[in-house]
Chain A
């Protein structure tokens, strides 16, 4: 029930009747407005919504039928009565056609009026209730339709494949992405799909469909759809239950995990490569120890000394390799805290060259280094930059020819400091250049076989350069020499 009083509009040109009805209804607890002619009646009746209206049929300006029409147009739920002394069958028909609740013949007794009004008011409440229901229903339908489109839009736009299969094996919901995972050209809604699936996927779905158990957990499988890791997928199936806990179907989500698998492969290849590289020095040291401890094998003191010495060299190389690997792993994990300072690059390179003095003299190399007093500065971690250039200069020495040259030049190019390090060494072939920065790659040929190294130096160089948003370029000619150009961002402060 409405809290406020029922509102009634009385439209009648007859003053006595108007006031009489108003008084009677107000006494009964209604809220009454009156209009003394048709025009005023239309005005009031369309300005606000009344619960009920009693309209006199015959008025001098506008006919009561007209007033009824206008009010009903605006507020179809206002229950209207037509009151008239000139009762006729035709006007009654017309009035009810236009939506009048009933026809009150004048004169009427207060009881007759009140009974009509009460019935009319019940009708009014009923109309309002009906209206409310209708509106709610419409809203709900709209919402459901909206939800459905929204859900479809979402499902259709995700790149993972989604397939919902009901208990009978019909495809009830799916998105376009699922086609490539199922290797199908099309699926029709409500199509029987089980006979079109790969056995692995079918088995996955059947874990739920063929099982009496109320399995709540999901199952995941991985399938290599195209060999050589070209297309690797992961399918996860989960049960869908009706509210009553009965199995409704199965939802399967397909993911493309090709990239993941590729990374996994690279990782495991790296691990085997590391193992292989570590195995060689260990095997060598192991071999020497075995020979020396074998009583049946007679060795001279000289030989023993030589073998111990050679074992030490191999162990030393092993240690270097493990250290390099640790450095790479720290760089990958980013556990190294960079101590960024303003660095005088010429000074760093000068120090490195001093450390290599003995090696440089041994090969009788001449170094052409243009030390810049006023210097060019970069903001970086001194240890890392030192490591970077140590690795490159060390290569320039190791792979140089006797009596060769090393040129080092530092200059500014735009916002970068360019350090160019050129040697007159053995150089590289095109295919070797491509693999230069990959772990454990070492050019193997007549010239390099007596050069020791971990195969990790340039891989570390590349990582350091990348970490400073720098760039490294290599030019090389086999048998002539190699030139490295390292660009590092200039320090502006």
Chain B
């Protein structure tokens, strides 16, 4: 059981945080949570997760993006997959669309996952990263 991968989940919507936690746990991962980017950073430093999943738009509009950036620059963080969760697109009125390649580059995340999370796809993507790292 100790080889369970540890995943950090950050979202300011406590309901979605809980739901995603349960979903990801049901696929055999250990999930630790934080409900702000500040707390997310603290938990990240303390527990060194194997992967991070961060909601893009939290208390400050770009805080998910900043947290992602910080993790990616971190000594431990630079080697683990960091996923961004978002429902922000031009269509939903944001001046930012994470689905365009140019702006995806701007976010330092490895993957941008649209909400709501389709758990099987999500796990597949996550496993691909773990496999790549394993080689």
Contact = CB atoms under 8 A, between A and B. Distances in A.
Q: Do A and B bind each other?
A: yes
Interface of A: 269, 272-273, 275-276, 279-280, 283-284, 286-288, 290-291, 294, 296-297, 299, 310, 314, 444-446, 448-449
Nearest to B58: A444
Contacts of B60: 444-445
B59 A272 contact: no
Nearest to A285: B15
A269 B90 CA distance: 10
A173 B12 CA distance: 64
B116 A291 contact: no
Nearest to A290: B19
12 contacts: A269-B93, A279-B87, A284-B13, A284-B16, A288-B19, A296-B26, A297-B23, A297-B26, A314-B15, A444-B58, A444-B59, A446-B36
A307 to B, nearest CB: 8
Nearest to A270: B93
B2 interface: no
A23 to B, nearest CB: 106
B99 interface: no
Contact of B36 (A284, A294, A449): A449
B57 to A, nearest CB: 9
Contacts of A310: 15
Interface in B3-22: 12-13, 15-16, 19-20, 22
Interface in B70-115: 87, 91-93, 115
A275 B92 contact: yes
A283 B115 contact: yes
Contacts of B58: 444
Contacts, number: 55
A283 B116 contact: yes
A449 B23 contact: no
B87 to A, nearest CB: 7
Contact of B92 (A272, A284, A296, A444): A272
Given A283-B116, A284-B13, 6 more contacts: A273-B93, A290-B19, A297-B22, A297-B23, A448-B59, A449-B59
A276 B22 CA distance: 24
A276 B87 contact: yes
A446 B115 CA distance: 23
B59 A287 contact: no
Nearest to B23: A291
A73 to B, nearest CB: 86
Contacts of B16: 283-284, 287
Nearest to B20: A287
Given A297-B22, A297-B26, A276 B15 contact: no
A79 B19 CA distance: 114
Contact of A287 (B12, B93, B116): B116
Interface string B37-56: 01000000000000000000
Contacts of A445: 59-60
Contacts of B92: 272-273, 275-276, 279
Given A296-B26, A445-B59, A446-B36, A272 B93 contact: yes
A446 B116 contact: no
A444 B35 CA distance: 13
Given A291-B19, A314-B15, A444-B61, A286 B93 contact: no
A276 B116 contact: no
A449 B38 CA distance: 13
Contacts of A279: 87, 92
B91 A446 contact: no
A442 B115 CA distance: 21
A283 B35 CA distance: 17
A321 to B, nearest CB: 15
Contacts of B12: 449
A314 B16 CA distance: 11
Interface string B116-133: 100000000000000000
Chain B CB within 10 A, most for which of A294, A310, A314, A444: A444
Contacts of A314: 15
B59 A288 contact: no
A296 B116 CA distance: 19
A287 B26 contact: no
A284 B93 CA distance: 20
Contacts of B19: 284, 287-288, 290-291
Nearest to A271: B93
What 4 A-B pairs are tightest by C-beta distance, nearest first? A272-B93, A287-B19, A284-B15, A276-B92
A404 to B, nearest CB: 21
B15 A287 contact: yes
Given A272-B93, A276-B93, A445-B60, A288 B26 contact: no
B35 A449 contact: yes
B121 to A, nearest CB: 15
Nearest to A313: B15
A283 B23 CA distance: 14
A165 B93 CA distance: 42
Contacts of B15: 284, 287-288, 310, 314
B38 A446 contact: yes
A386 B92 CA distance: 33
Nearest to B90: A272
A14 to B, nearest CB: 109
A273 B35 CA distance: 23
A271 to B, nearest CB: 8
A22 B59 CA distance: 117
